[in-house]
Amino acid sequence: QSSSIYITLTIIGFFFTGVPGSMVVTWTTFNKTESKVEYSFLGGRHFEMTANGDATLFVDSGEEQRHMYIHRVTLTGLKPAAAYVYHCGSDKGWSDAFFFAALNDSTNFSPRFALYGDLGNENPQSLARLQKETQLGMYDAILHIGDFAYDMHEDNARIGDEFMRQIESIAAYVPYMTCPGNHEATYNFSNYRNRFTMPGQTESLWYSWNLGSAHIISFSTEVYFYLEFGLELLFKQYEWLKKDLEEANRPENRAVRPWIITMGHRPMYCSDDDQDDCTMFDSYVLHITTHKNVEFVSFTGVDLELWAHEHTYERLWPVYGYKVYNGSKEQPYVNPKAPVHIVTGSAGCREKTDMFNPNPKDWSAFRSTDYGYTRMQVVNTTHIYLEQVSDDQYGKVIDSIWVVKESHGFSAWF
Which residue number, 72 or 266, has a Cβ lying nearer to Fe ion? 266
Q: Name the minimum Å distance from CB 183 to Fe ion.
A: 6
Q: Name the minimum Å distance from CB 348 to Fe ion.
A: 13
Would you call 401 helix, strand, or coil by DSSP? strand
Q: Name the minimum Å distance from CB 253 to Fe ion.
A: 32
Which residue number, 309 or 315, has a Cβ lying nearer to Fe ion? 309
Stretch that binds Fe ion, among 77-85, 150-158, 176-184, 359-367 (CB under 5 A): 176-184
Is-contact 222 231, C-beta < 8 A?
no
Site for Fe ion in 292-331 (CB under 5 A): 309
Which residue number, 72 or 195, has a Cβ lying nearer to Fe ion? 195
Stretch that binds Fe ion, among 167-175, 182-190, 223-231, 276-284 (CB under 5 A): 182-190
Q: Looking at residue 272, what DSSP letter applies?
A: B
Q: Does the footprint of Fe ion cover residue 129 (CB under 5 A)?
A: no
Number of H helices, E strands in the chain: 6, 26
Q: Which string of x and - marks every residue 354-393 that binds Fe ion (by CB under 5 A)?
A: ----------------------------------------
CA-based angle 27:346:131, to the nearest 5? 40
Q: Does the footprint of Fe ion cover residue 182 (CB under 5 A)?
A: yes
Which residue number, 7 or 285, has a Cβ lying nearer to Fe ion? 285
Site for Fe ion in 237-276 (CB under 5 A): none
Which residue number, 162 or 276, has a Cβ lying nearer to Fe ion? 276
**Hey, CA dihedral for 119, 122, 123, 127, is it positive or negative?**
positive
104: left (phi over 0), alpha (psi -120 to 50) or beta: beta
Class of residue 94 by CB neighbours under 10 A (exposed 0-12, middle 13-18, buried 19+)? middle
Stretch that binds Fe ion, among 83-91, 101-109, 174-182, 396-404 (CB under 5 A): 174-182
Which residue number, 127 or 278, has a Cβ lying nearer to Fe ion? 278
Taking the C-alpha atoms of residue 82 and residue 32, their distance in angstroms, rounded to an integer, is: 32
Residue nearest to Fe ion (CB): 309
Q: Looking at residue 11, what DSSP letter applies?
A: -
Q: Name the minimum Å distance from CB 181 to Fe ion.
A: 4
Which residue number, 179 or 214, has a Cβ lying nearer to Fe ion? 179
Q: Collect all residues with Cβ–Cβ distance below 8 Å to 237 and sequence separation of at least 6.
A: 205, 206, 219, 220, 223
Q: Does the footprint of Fe ion cover residue 186 (CB under 5 A)?
A: no
Taking the C-alpha atoms of residue 142 and residue 178, their distance in angstroms, rounded to an integer, is: 8
Using CB under 5 A, count the residues that bind Fe ion.
Answer: 4
Which residue number, 347 or 384, has a Cβ lying nearer to Fe ion? 347
Q: Name the minimum Å distance from CB 233 to Fe ion.
A: 18
Q: Name the minimum Å distance from CB 203 to Fe ion.
A: 19
The one-letter code for the residue type at 151 is D
Q: Name the minimum Å distance from CB 298 to Fe ion.
A: 22
Neighbours of 249 (CB within 10 A): 17
Q: Name the minimum Å distance from CB 407 to Fe ion.
A: 35
Q: Does the footprint of Fe ion cover residue 181 (CB under 5 A)?
A: yes
Site for Fe ion in 135-154 (CB under 5 A): 147
Q: Name the minimum Å distance from CB 393 to Fe ion.
A: 24
Which residue number, 181 or 348, has a Cβ lying nearer to Fe ion? 181
Task: Give the full edge-to-edge strand order of the sheet including 67-75.
Answer: 13-16, 23-29, 67-75, 54-59
Q: Name the minimum Å distance from CB 180 to Fe ion.
A: 10
Taking the C-alpha atoms of residue 381 and residue 362, their distance in angstroms, rounded to an integer, is: 29
- Which residue(s) pair with 123 in the sheet? none
Site for Fe ion in 20-59 (CB under 5 A): none
Taking the C-alpha atoms of residue 340 and residue 384, their distance in angstroms, rounded to an integer, is: 11
Is-contact 69 58, C-beta < 8 A?
yes
Is-contact 85 40, C-beta < 8 A?
yes
Q: Does the footprint of Fe ion cover residue 332 (CB under 5 A)?
A: no
CA-based nearest residue to 111, from 211, 216, 16, 217 = 211
Which residue number, 182 or 253, has a Cβ lying nearer to Fe ion? 182
Give kind and range of the element (H or E) at residue 159: helix 154-171
Residues that bind Fe ion (CB under 5 A): 147, 181-182, 309
